[in-house]
Amino acid sequence: MPPGQPTRWATCSSVRFPTARPRPTTARRVHRCPAPDAGLPSGDTGPVHPPPFCPPPRRAGPRPVVIGHRGSPRRAPENTLASFRAAWAAGVDWVEADVQPTIDGVPVVLHDDTIDRTTDDTGVVRHLPWAEVGQLTLHGAPGAVPRLTELLAELTGPRRLLLEIKGPHSPADLRRLLAELAASGADHRVFLQSFERDVLAELRVLVPDRPLGLLVETLDDADLAAADELAVVAINPSVECVLTRPSVITELRARGRSVAVWTADEPDQWDALARAGVDGVITDRPGDLARYRTDGEPPFR
C-alpha cells in the first residue's frame, strides 16, 4: 500500500455503481480455507489433493477481522519476521505483507520501490540481487529483509496472509511467485491482492480458479468495472474513501465482495468501520485493535 508519510485523501461522494455485467464462471466458485493442518483420516490411503485456495477475510459476527499491516510495525520494523510474529502474538490471525522480486527474480518482503527508507543503504529493489538485499541492515533495529519463503514458513495453524503483489510483474515473475507459494505447503493460507490490474489479469490466466483482491484508492466507475472484468472477490479501499461514504460497503458486499479497509489506526475510525460493515480492518496497531471495546461489545478479533 502507499507509503505512510503523506496521506492522500480519496473521495467517494460521486461513486456510481454500473450495472453489473455477467462475470466469468470462476467468480462464482466458493473457495474455503480448510481446517488448519487438515489431513486425510487415519488409515486413508487415497490420493492427497492440494487444499483449496484461501478466501479473503470475512467477518463472521458483529466485528471485523483484524489484519496487521506489514505485521505490527509499532512493535518491530515493518515487513520483518519480528513484526509478523508480534502481530500473531497479540492475538490476531491475519497479517498483511508486500512482495516484489529482486533483479535475480527472488520474491522478497519489502514495500517501497527502494531500500532507502527502511534500510541503511540506498538503491532500487529490482536492481539489486538477493545476495545483497538479504544482507541489508534495517534502520534502527535488528533483523533482516525476509524472503517470501521465510514468511510462508511461519504460516502454521490459524495464521493467514494477505499478500500484496507490489508493482509490475512479468509472467515469469508471477510464475515464480506462484511456484514458491505452491512449494511452501501454505498456499491455502494466502490471499493475493494488488493495485496492478495487469498483474491481476495475468494471474486470472495463470490460476483461473484462484480468488483475488483489487486494491483501490478511490471507488469510481472505473474501479467497479475493473473489479467486474477481473472477477475479483474482494475490493480493498482506503479508509478515507470508506469514511467519506460508508454506505459504499453495503453496496460492495451486496455484490458478493469482501471489503478490507486500509490503513485505520484510530479508535474513531475503528468504530465507524465496524458500523459500516467492513469485513476487515488493516491497521498498524493490531494488538490495540484486537483489545479494543466499543459500548461493551467484545473486542475485535
pLDDT tens over the chain, length 301 residues: 655 444 333 334 444 434 434 444 444 343 333 343 443 334 444 555 667 899 999 998 889 999 999 999 999 999 999 999 999 999 999 999 999 999 999 999 999 999 999 999 999 999 999 999 999 999 878 789 999 999 999 999 999 999 999 999 999 999 999 999 999 999 999 999 999 999 999 999 999 999 999 999 998 889 989 999 999 999 999 999 999 999 999 999 998 999 999 999 999 999 999 999 999 999 999 999 999 865 556 666 5
pLDDT of residue 23: 41
Query: By 3-state DSSP, what share of the chain in percent is helix, strand and coil, each rounded to 5?
Result: 30, 15, 55
In this structure, the number of other CB atoms found within 10 A of the CB of residue 159 comes to 17
Q: Is the dihedral of CA 209, 213, 219, 222 positive or negative?
A: negative
pLDDT in the model for residue 300: 66
20 burial (CB, 10 Å; 0-12 / 13-18 / 19+) is exposed
Helix axes 171-184, 197-206, angle to 10 degrees: 60
Q: How far is CA 295 from the centre of its chain?
A: 29
In degrees, rounded to 5, the angle at the alpha carbon of residue 84 between the alpha carbons of residues 196 and 103 is 45
Cβ neighbours for 134, distance < 8 A, ≥ 6 positions apart: 108, 144, 145, 147
Q: Which domains does the chain have, with CATH numbers?
A: 51-291 (3.20.20.190)
What pLDDT score does 296 carry?
Answer: 56
Phi, psi of 215 (to 5 degrees): -85, 135
CA distance 73 to 203: 29
pTM (2 d.p.): 0.84
Instruction: Report pLDDT for 220.
Output: 87
The position carrying cell 507509503 is 3
Tell me if 36 sits within 8 A of 157, measured CB to CB: yes
Q: What is the gyration radius of the CA atoms in the chain, in angstroms? A: 19
The per-residue pLDDT for 153 is 98
